[in-house]
Structure 1
Amino acid sequence: MKRLILIALLFCISKVSITYAQETIGKPNVIVIVSDDAGYADFGCYGGKEIPTPNIDALAKSGTLFTDAYVSASVCAPSRAGILTGMYQQRFGFEHNVSKLPVAPYTQEDVGMDIDIKTIGNQMQHNGYHTIALGKWHMGDDARYFPLQRGFDEFYGFVGGHRDFFGYKGQAPSPTQALYDNDKIVPESEVTYLTDMLTDRAVSFVKANAQQPFFMYLAYNAVHTPMNAKQELLDKFSHITNPERRAYAAMMASLDEGVGALVDALKKQNIYDNTLIVFINDNGAATNNSADNGKLRGLKGSKWEGGTRVAYIMQYPNYIPAGKKYHKMVSGLDIMPTAVGAANGQLIAGQITDGKNLLPYINGKIKKAPHSDLFWRRGIAAAVRSGKWKLIRSGDTNPVLLFNLEKDISETKNLANSHQGKVKKLLRKLEAWEKTIEQPRWLSPYGDHNQVMKHRMEMIGREMETQYP
């Protein structure tokens, strides 16, 4: 009798374990890691040699690396709005970084991500996930844009576009720079080094939620300015003579260590194999942080490849091929539908989605490219990539620029005069896309002049571009 009872008990435990395993396989954990202003050529898996990034490289080795990956804007806030919603952010007027320049009839309270738009947090909650946003938010300063109001059960980070990595003396200079733990402000005396603190909170969240499906949006502010680095890592890179580049390298090392610690936590909780990890950089290398875009022309804020083409990796054991490079065009807009697709979930009805679930494309079930065309606009400057062709339009005083990216990834030869038919076709595509979007609800304090100057063929190199942020 005792033996029969034991067998029955073991059978029940086994059945529960199998059921839980089936449920978790059906709902994998999803982690989206965003780095800030990193250089395309500064990641080892993208050819970087100077700064070791072994943990980010390991994601690429265990997953798929995208060579032709883009974000939907070349500056922080609109790029993140595209990632968070899966739709061109211009559809709801989010064309520029948040500013103090609303366009009538909108007011300062309207400067932020439209509250009627569903975020990836909302989408994952809708599909049974516990959600957290960590790090940089930058989706608007008003209380209604706060992460806890936008689809996230937990928040640990700051709402503005930047802050110091070390604690401020006294209080943070502004509420947007304060560090929040949910709706409570963390005393600055408790701030040690922010990259590490975000990692620690991410690890503790994994431990606390290992038995339920979770979604994590981990938006590091590394390697955005200010160039704050830990002394021990500055010492590690003492061979780099440029002090700003040395600080950048040390900050990259902290970022990479954070990725490694998070992956280790997943493995220790035995949920690594059931977790989709996405890594993406928010835009190209900044003009002011010594990041390196390598052979890509241009920097943050521009429509050159160096402004919008980014490092982008997806890893999901047994579902995404390991060690593969995917060469078709993909976008940060694809992250939201891919997350919902991995969860075998349903999108909330009533909202346009411009992104695609990349899983069937990566796995080879769908052979065609996820996108035939991608579009960008920030003020007077706009661009379209269609197949191998890229067109940039930046006002009446600049000529239209056309490049064949397969032959000229560094955008050195303007082919507009010799391919006028292609120019007309791409301009029509760009104009048709612009009819589907709103005019900006607020403007950039830099105005259109900088955008015109950035996109002149003679504008080459960091020294020149720094004049026009």
Structure 2
Amino acid sequence: MKNYSRHFVAATCALAAFSPVEMMAQKQPNFVIIVADDMGYGDVGIYGNEYIKTPNIDQIAREGMMFTDFHSNGSVSSPTRCGLLTGRYQQRAGLEKVLLVPRDDKDKEVGLPSEEITFAKILGDNGYRTALIGKWHLGYLQKHHPMNFGFQKFVGFKSGNVDYQSHRNRYGDMDWWDGLEMKDMSGYTTTLLTTLSEDYIKENKDKPFCLYIAHAAPHSPMQGPDEKAVRTEATPEGDKNSDRSNKEIYKDMVEELDWSVGRILETLKKYKLDENTFVVFFSDNGPVINNGGSAGGYKGAKGSPWEGGHRVPGICYMPGTIKEGTTCEQTVMSFDLFPTMLDMADIHYDDSKKKLDGTSLVPLFKGENLAPRLLFWGNGNKTISVRDGKWKLVRYNQKGGITLHLFDLNNDPYEKNNLSKQEPELVERLDKEITRWAESVYSEVPDQFARKVQRTNKK
């Protein structure tokens, strides 16, 4: 791997000049989507972390486009994965909460609705090989299996997290699948997912493929590569069995994840696929601070409506298509990747029945700006936020009633100064936009989720 200085010259995405997407080789591009689990904005070297060493993630950032305003669709796992796969607000599918391992029949019914259309389905219908290697977290019944949503190959786990050594979920049940069958495989989860991904690239090097690598790291349980199993059949529960501090273990987990990113890039280069493969790296939500994660100074963490809950490291890499050393300050979300991939593959998709909410990022790769748009984050009847350029309004439903918090993120990125009283007209306009958005997305919630989300659009 190359050894780069921490100092580099970065152009803004609006000023980049490079080979446009239309000039790519005629062969359809491959796609590799790498998703970290619970990694914070400040957990990566190039994003300011000097304790954890991430030379490989730093490298793709320096050789590609590094986003400073990249957001996961949700501040917890399942919602973000739903938004990523469907290119739509997860609220439309009724998935804005974490899907816990079910312990009764009612909970088992919750999952990605069968009528949802994923990027894997559309790419597969257009000649792509598609695979999910790693975490699913969108349902546990066979009808929710990823191979029913366009993934031709699935190896990994269905729950929110597994023991890195024993591959057991939080109740001590085995949770490792090879296709439709449960079949455990030996190995530390991060290392195992990497080997499986390398094998998949090798097997599909002569045909267009889309590989979604959904890592477990650095989500709990706290286990570095040399830690023994925490969860066994005899002792099902547990998140740690080491005397080391969480900070030390977390460092090992992130650095093993960084090693994995390096291995994937080396494999692409080995088979001369790197210039025809669009690689994306981001995290599904903000960090768990007590585990050792860092939000990089942003307010909040995993599960919160503040920036630390969903502003995450985000990187796009494709030599010859994305100019190296480019820093992009425009606001984007993970559901933008669905339309981006279709745009890059020149695939027409009629989304009249399932309207995409995301937008293609290809204009950024051409040095252009995205059209202005409003972006939303929702968490049932607790919070809904809207972003309009530099402005962010958070409608917060607490026991004492609804409060409104307005921030100028250009001048107050850490959300310290609530300007709602100083900007009443702006607050009123954005609050109306929240109500409009809520009425739109919750009206589409499938009947299977008729427990109904209590809306916050009436104060």
Q: Note closer, same or farther for the CA distance 1:228–1:442 as it changes in structure 2 (3 Å cut).
A: farther
Alignment of 1:145-156 (within 5 A): 145-156=144-155
**Residue aligned with 1:60, SS:** helix
- Whether 2:182 is the aligned partner of 1:185: answer yes
Residue 42 of structure 2 corresponds to 41
**CA contact 1:356–1:370 (8 Å) conserved in 2:** no
Q: How many angstroms does 1:361 deviate by?
A: 2.5
Q: How many angstroms does 1:394 deviate by?
A: 1.3
Q: How many angstroms does 1:376 deviate by?
A: 1.0
Pairing partner for 1:363 from 366, 370, 394: 366
Residue 31 of structure 1 corresponds to 32
Alignment of 1:20-419 (within 5 A): 25-99=26-100, 108-167=107-166, 177-187=174-184, 190-231=185-226, 243-349=245-351, 350-364=353-367, 366-367=368-369, 369-379=370-380, 380-395=382-397, 397-419=401-423
**CA contact 2:100–2:159 (8 Å) conserved in 1:** no
**CA contact 1:84–1:336 (8 Å) conserved in 2:** yes
1:297-347 C-alpha deviation (Å, 9 max, x unpaired): 001111100001111111111111211011111110111111111111122
Q: Give the Cα–Cα distance (whole angstroms) in 2 for the partners of residues 172 and 425 of structure 1.
A: 45
Q: TM-score, normalised by structure 1?
A: 0.82
Q: Which has the higher helix share?
A: 1
**CA contact 2:102–2:108 (8 Å) conserved in 1:** no
Q: Give the Cα–Cα distance (whole angstroms) in 2 for the partners of residues 423 and 111 of structure 1.
A: 35
Alignment of 1:423-442 (within 5 A): 423-438=427-442
**Residue aligned with 1:436, SS:** helix
Q: How many angstroms does 1:287 deviate by?
A: 4.3
**Residue aligned with 1:87, SS:** coil
Which residue identity lines up with residue 79 of structure 1 in the other structure? T
| Identical pairs, percent | 34
**CA contact 2:86–2:116 (8 Å) conserved in 1:** yes
**CA contact 1:126–1:348 (8 Å) conserved in 2:** no
* Structural RMSD (CA): 2.7
Q: Give the Cα–Cα distance (whole angstroms) in 1 for the partners of residues 125 and 322 of structure 2.
A: 24
**CA contact 2:33–2:279 (8 Å) conserved in 1:** yes
Give the gaps of 5 or more residues in structure 2.
1-22, 228-242
Q: Give the Cα–Cα distance (whole angstroms) in 2 for the partners of residues 281 and 25 of structure 1.
A: 31
Q: Give the Cα–Cα distance (whole angstroms) in 1 for the partners of residues 375 and 49 of structure 2.
A: 27
**Residue aligned with 2:401, SS:** coil
Q: Note closer, same or farther for the CA distance 1:174–1:141 as it changes in structure 2 (3 Å cut).
A: farther
1:434-461 C-alpha deviation (Å, 9 max, x unpaired): 11112666599xx99xx9xxxxxxxxxx
* Rg larger for: 1
Q: How many angstroms does 1:183 deviate by?
A: 2.1
**CA contact 1:295–1:409 (8 Å) conserved in 2:** no
Q: How many angstroms does 1:231 deviate by?
A: 3.0
Q: How many angstroms does 1:23 deviate by?
A: 10
Q: How many angstroms does 1:93 deviate by?
A: 1.2
Q: Give the Cα–Cα distance (whole angstroms) in 1 for the partners of residues 47 and 364 of structure 2.
A: 21
**CA contact 2:54–2:255 (8 Å) conserved in 1:** yes
Q: Give the Cα–Cα distance (whole angstroms) in 1 for the partners of residues 46 and 110 of structure 2.
A: 37
Q: TM-score, normalised by structure 2?
A: 0.84
Q: How many angstroms does 1:362 deviate by?
A: 2.9
Q: How many angstroms does 1:348 deviate by?
A: 4.9
1:186-233 C-alpha deviation (Å, 9 max, x unpaired): 23xx4220100000000000111100000000000100000110239x
Q: Note closer, same or farther for the CA distance 1:438–1:226 as it changes in structure 2 (3 Å cut).
A: same
Q: Note closer, same or farther for the CA distance 1:372–1:136 as it changes in structure 2 (3 Å cut).
A: same
**CA contact 2:101–2:159 (8 Å) conserved in 1:** no
Q: How many angstroms does 1:24 deviate by?
A: 6.4
